[in-house]
Amino acid sequence: MRTLDSLGPLGSKTVIVRCDLNVPLATDENGAKSITDDGRIRASLTTIRELREAGARIVLISHLGRPEGAPDERFSLRPVAARMAELLGAPVGFVDETVGEAAAAAVAALSDGDVLLLENLRFNPGETSKDDAARGAFAAQLAALGDAFVSDGFGVVHRKQASVYDLAKLLPSAAGRLVAAELEVLERLTEKADRPYAVVLGGSKVSDKLGVIAHLIERVDTLLVGGGMVFTFLAAQGHAVGASLLEEDQLDTVRGYLEQAVSRGVRIVLPTDIVVAESFAADAAHEVVPADAIESSSFGAAGLGLDIGPDSAAAFAAAINDSATVFWNGPMGVFEMAAFAEGTRTVAQALTDTEGFTVVGGGDSAAAVRALGFADDAFGHISTGGGASLEFLEGKSLPGLEVLA
């Protein structure tokens, strides 16, 4: 894969950098927006700083949220430009269009080392178009703004989109430092992991993780399963799960994984106790019951599991501490609610305590560790791309990486 070094001297050249600045925003009662997790902005700074030091003129491009191919103030990147300037310790210009006269003029006005952020790419329908011609036309407009392209938005390299795939074919292109670092970590997880190797999977749906389980069950020693997806595993073993999240159409698939694990000598660790609640609410009445007797709670068949229990969390932590490599994707419960956050907190704490190499697989997992007060540098690596990481670990090819080969 081509890296920054392959582009040669970049002084006075205009370099377009595809970042992933898709950060969560909150809006207060006055309509003011604030960034609730700036992790992806921080992750982008390494490449930006290197390009500034090289004297490049830097044009940052990114998406935010899911606008419908038209300008939508709710998804403007303007707050991101302000926060990036604070973190970078240097001005970051902003122009409220992706391509056009204002964007071209702002780019032309850049001096060596300047940084400019264009408005949300997805305000243009060409960015995500399934039509190659429409996507290519938008990419050509972007390419006209620069001399070289750096792909540094790892969270989107699994997308065949104009700014990820087509643009890389129109300009001298290379991976930025973030994408290169992410790829190195993922290759280590799939090809060179130190053993014992444990994978912790959570989140709501088994169906979101099927490919990962299928690909990693041949490579790991221990698979720990929590989150909403665990109830499909428990049901596959014949246990009643009350009103808990259940994907009945995945029961046979899960039974197959359980059998495959036995035949391969892979240990699958499921919770032995569950925090069951009366309803899906932060202040809901709740209690801890055995995982094989969820409907024995005070709420009967109406109870729903919202976290792994304390005994399970302790067992998960012990398995993590015994491992030399740990990959974690997906919270253990509804961590946004304090009553159902302890399983996720215990797993996160275990990852910070172990001497092994630990990887937090982006998405909700990254959001959880930050929301619970853990520092990024307490882990071996926090991925910026949940979906991209999972697809890589499933063994899929990623268009945004293929085009840089």
Binding residues for substrate: 20-22, 40, 63-66, 122, 159
- With 0-12 CB in 10 A as exposed, 13-18 as middle and 19+ as buried, what is 227? buried
Catalytic residues: 40, 205, 363, 387
Pairing of strands 173-175, 197-201: unpaired
Alpha helix (H) residue ranges in 1-110: 39-53, 78-88, 101-108
Q: How far is CA 37 from CA 18, 24, 27, 41, 316, in A?
A: 19, 6, 13, 9, 27
Q: Residues marked as binding?
A: 20-22, 40, 63-66, 122, 159, 209, 305, 336, 362-365
Closest CA to 237 of 254, 223, 225, 249: 254
Q: Residues marked as binding for ATP?
A: 209, 305, 336, 362-365
Instruction: Check: CB of residue 306 under 8 Å from CB of residue 286.
Output: yes
Beta bridge partners of 225: 201
> Which are the contacts of 303, defined by CB distance < 8 A and separation ≥ 6?
242, 243, 244, 276, 277, 278, 294, 295, 297
Q: Residues marked as binding for (2R)-3-phosphoglycerate?
A: 40, 122, 159
Q: Where are the beta strands (DSSP E) in 166-242?
A: 173-175, 197-201, 222-225
Pairing of strands 304-308, 273-277: antiparallel
Phi, then psi, of 301 in degrees rounded to 5: -70, -10
| Measured distance CA(294)–CA(303) in Å, rounded | 8
| Measured distance CA(232)–CA(3) in Å, rounded | 42
Instruction: Check: CB of residue 302 under 8 Å from CB of residue 243.
Output: yes
**How would DSSP label each residue in 254-280?**
HHHHHHHHHHHTPEEE--SEEEEESSS
Helix (H) or strand (E) holding 228: none
Helix pair angle (363-371, 386-393), 10° resolution: 130
Closest CA to 169 of 146, 147, 149: 149
Question: Using only C-alpha atoms, what is the Rg of the chain?
Answer: 23
